[in-house]
C-alpha cells in the first residue's frame, strides 16, 4: 500500500484488550501512517489480562496497564465507549456517542464470561474477566472469606490457587467428572485433580449448582441437596465470543458465536478483519477451524492482521496455539492441538512435581503439555512447528531431550 493511500485510510479497531492494542501497535511497526482509532468499552487505560488472576488479585502488582505510549504512536484512544452495531454498507460502526466511520475495521472484542444461570445480580457472586472484577475480589481474599468456586477449568484453578494462598477456605464445584474436562483427556487430568486436596482446597465433581443464596455467610445449594457455606462465589464456567453487537450486520459467525475469519483473518464482510478470542480461523496444520481463547493468539494474530492491511506480507495465519497457567505451585504450559492425535506419550511420573505429555499423529508431535518442564515445552513447540517425526521410545524417556528424539 502506498504511503499516500495509507495516509487517507482510517483503521478503526473495536476492542482495547491485548488483540486490539497489539493490532494498533503492529500497524505502526509495519509502517502504517494513516489514522488509527482504538475503541474500548472499559474506561481504564488498556491492560493485560493474565495478571488479573495472579499478581493483581493477590495485591502483588499495582496494575497491568500496557507500557505503550499511544500518543507517541499517534493512536487515538476512545475508552469507556460501547459499540452497539456495524453497518458494513456504510462503512460505519454505531456507538453510544454516535457513528464512527472506518475504511478498515478490525473486530477485537474478545470473549465474555458465561454467567451461571440464576446468579446475575446476586450479591456475592463474582466473575473474573476484567480489572474491576479483580478489584472487587481483592477484599474477599484480604478478609479470608470462605469461597465456593464454580468450575474447575483454568480460571477456576488459578483463582482457587490465589484464594488458598491468601488463607481462604476454598471449595471448587465442577459439574463434570474431573477438572479441565473440556480441555484435556481424563488420564491427563487425573493427577491434576489431586493438586486441589494436596493444597487444602476441596474439589467436588459431578456437582451442579441449583441456587445461590446470598447472606453472611451465603449458601450454595447443589442439585443433590448439599449446602455449601460461602461468603463469596466465583464463577468460572467458560467464555463466549463477545460478538452480540454484530447481530444484523451480515457478518458470518460460527456456531460458537465467533467471527469466521479466513486464513488471513479477513471476515465475510469487505474491509473487516477479526482477531483474538472473538474469531475462529482455519488451520491447515490441524485440518480444522480453531477458536483459541488464549493470550498468545491475541499477541500473534495482530501481526498477521497488520501485515494483511499494509500489504507487507501475504502468509496464512496458522500458529501452534500456546498457553500457560500457574496453579497450586505448578507452572503448566501447553502447545499445539491434540484433538486428532493417535498416540499419547508420558514423559515422567505424574505423581512427581514435574512431568510432560506428548501427543503424536502418525509419529509427528502435534501437542505437548508440560508441568514444571519448560525445556520440554520449548523443544516440543519447535518440533510441532516443524512437523518432524520422533522416535516414540526415545520421546517417552524423560531423560532424553525431545530434540534428541527426532528420527
| Mean per-residue pLDDT over the chain, rounded | 94
Average pLDDT of the segment spanning 54-70: 77
Dist. CA 171–CA 201, nearest whole Å: 6
Q: Where are the domains of the chain?
A: 3-112+239-310, 125-235, 329-405
Specify the higher pLDDT residue, 138 or 221.
221
Identify the CA nearest to 291 among candidates 277, 309, 305, 273: 277
- Yes or no: say if 297 and 315 are a contact pair by the CB < 8 Å rule: no
Q: What pLDDT is stored for residue 267 in this prediction?
A: 98
The three cell numbers of residue 42 are 472499559
Does 1 score more than 60 pLDDT? no
The residue written with cell numbers 509495519 in the block is 30
Q: What pLDDT is stored for residue 332 in this prediction?
A: 97
Does 84 score more than 70 pLDDT? yes
Average pLDDT of the segment spanning 370-380: 98
Q: What pLDDT is stored for residue 7 in this prediction?
A: 64
pLDDT band at 60 (very low <50, low <70, confident <90, very high): low
Q: What pLDDT is stored for residue 62 in this prediction?
A: 62
Q: What pLDDT is stored for residue 3 in this prediction?
A: 59
Fold of 329-405: Enolase-like; domain 1 (3.30.390)
Does 61 score more than 80 pLDDT? no
pLDDT digits (tens, 9 = 90+) for 7-29: 679 999 999 999 999 999 999 99
Dist. CA 135–CA 63, nearest whole Å: 10
| CATH 3.40.50.720 for the 125-235 domain, yes or no | no
Share of the chain above pLDDT 90, in %: 86
| Beta-strand pair 83-87/92-95 | antiparallel
pLDDT band at 347 (very low <50, low <70, confident <90, very high): very high
Other CB atoms closer than 10 Å to residue 404's CB: what's the count? 13
- pTM of structure: 0.94
- Which range has the worst mean pLDDT, 78-87, 125-134, 253-262, 341-350? 125-134
Average pLDDT of the segment spanning 185-213: 96
Q: What pLDDT is stored for residue 54 in this prediction?
A: 65
The residue written with cell numbers 499495582 in the block is 62
Please determine whether the domains at 3-112+239-310 and 125-235 fall in the same fold group of CATH: yes
pLDDT digits (tens, 9 = 90+) for 291-320: 999 999 999 999 999 999 999 988 899 999
User: DSSP secondary structure string, 324-379?
Assistant: EEEETTEEEEEEE--TT-SEEEEES-TTSS-EEEEEEETTEEEEEEEES-HHHHHH
User: Residue 84: helix, strand or coil by DSSP?
Assistant: strand
Does 57 score more than 80 pLDDT? no
Does 374 score more than 80 pLDDT? yes
Dist. CA 392–CA 406, nearest whole Å: 9
pLDDT digits (tens, 9 = 90+) for 112-147: 999 999 998 899 999 999 989 988 898 889 988 899
Does 4 score more than 60 pLDDT? no
pLDDT band at 6 (very low <50, low <70, confident <90, very high): low
Share of the chain above pLDDT 70, in %: 96
Which of the four CATH numbers 3.30.420.40, 3.40.50.720, 1.10.10.10, 3.50.50.60 does domain 3-112+239-310 have? 3.50.50.60
Does 2 score more than 60 pLDDT? no
The three cell numbers of residue 322 are 500456546
Dist. CA 260–CA 290, nearest whole Å: 10
Q: What is the CA radius of gyration of the chain?
A: 22
Amino acid at each position: 500500500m502506498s504511503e499516500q493511500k495509507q495516509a487517507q485510510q482510517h483503521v478503526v479497531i473495536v476492542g482495547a484488550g491485548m488483540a486490539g492494542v497489539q493490532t494498533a501497535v503492529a500497524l505502526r511497526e509495519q509502517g502504517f501512517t494513516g489514522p488509527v482509532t482504538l475503541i474500548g468499552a472499559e474506561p481504564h487505560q488498556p491492560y493485560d489480562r493474565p495478571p488479573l488472576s495472579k499478581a493483581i488479585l493477590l495485591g502483588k502488582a499495582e496494575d497491568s496497564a500496557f507500557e505503550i505510549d499511544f500518543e507517541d504512536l499517534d493512536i487515538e484512544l476512545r475508552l469507556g465507549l460501547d459499540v452497539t452495531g456495524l453497518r458494513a454498507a456504510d462503512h460505519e460502526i454505531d456507538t453510544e456517542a454516535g457513528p464512527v466511520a472506518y475504511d478498515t475495521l478490525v473486530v477485537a472484542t474478545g470473549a465474555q464470561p458465561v454467567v451461571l444461570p440464576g446468579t446475575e445480580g446476586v450479591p456475592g457472586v463474582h466473575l473474573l474477566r476484567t480489572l474491576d472484577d479483580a478489584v472487587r475480589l481483592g477484599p474477599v481474599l484480604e478478609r479470608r472469606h470462605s469461597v465456593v468456586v464454580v468450575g474447575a477449568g483454568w480460571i477456576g484453578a488459578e483463582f482457587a490457587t490465589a484464594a488458598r494462598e491468601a488463607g481462604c477456605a476454598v471449595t471448587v464445584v465442577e459439574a463434570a467428572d474431573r477438572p479441565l474436562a473440556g480441555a484435556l483427556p481424563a488420564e491427563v487430568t487425573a493427577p491434576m485433580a489431586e493438586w486441589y486436596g494436596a493444597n487444602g482446597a476441596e474439589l467436588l465433581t459431578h456437582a451442579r449448582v441449583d441456587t445461590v443464596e446470598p447472606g453472611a455467610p451465603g449458601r450454595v445449594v447443589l442439585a443433590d441437596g448439599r449446602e455449601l457455606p460461602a461468603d463469596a462465589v466465583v464463577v468460572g464456567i467458560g467464555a463466549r465470543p463477545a460478538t452480540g453487537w454484530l447481530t444484523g450486520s451480515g457478518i458470518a459467525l460460527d456456531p460458537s458465536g465467533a467471527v469466521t475469519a479466513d486464513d488471513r483473518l479477513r471476515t465475510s464482510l469487505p474491509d473487516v478483519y477479526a482477531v483474538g478470542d472473538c474469531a475462529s480461523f482455519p488451520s491447515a496444520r490441524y485440518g480444522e477451524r480453531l477458536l483459541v481463547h488464549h493470550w498468545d493468539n491475541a499477541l500473534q494474530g495482530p501481526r498477521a492482521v497488520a501485515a494483511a492491511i499494509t500489504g507487507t506480507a501475504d502468509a496464512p495465519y496458522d500458529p501452534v496455539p500456546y498457553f500457560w497457567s500457574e496453579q497450586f505451585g505448578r507452572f503448566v504450559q501447553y502447545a499445539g492441538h491434540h484433538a486428532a492425535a493417535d498416540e499419547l506419550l508420558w514423559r515422567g511420573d505424574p505423581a512427581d512435581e514435574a512431568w510432560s505429555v506428548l501427543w503424536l499423529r502418525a509419529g509427528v508431535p502435534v501437542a505437548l503439555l508440560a508441568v514444571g518442564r519448560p525445556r520440554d515445552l520449548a523443544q516440543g513447540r519447535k518440533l510441532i512447528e516443524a512437523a518432524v517425526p520422533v522416535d516414540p521410545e526415545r520421546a517417552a524417556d524423560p531423560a532424553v531431550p525431545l530434540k534428541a528424539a527426532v528420527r
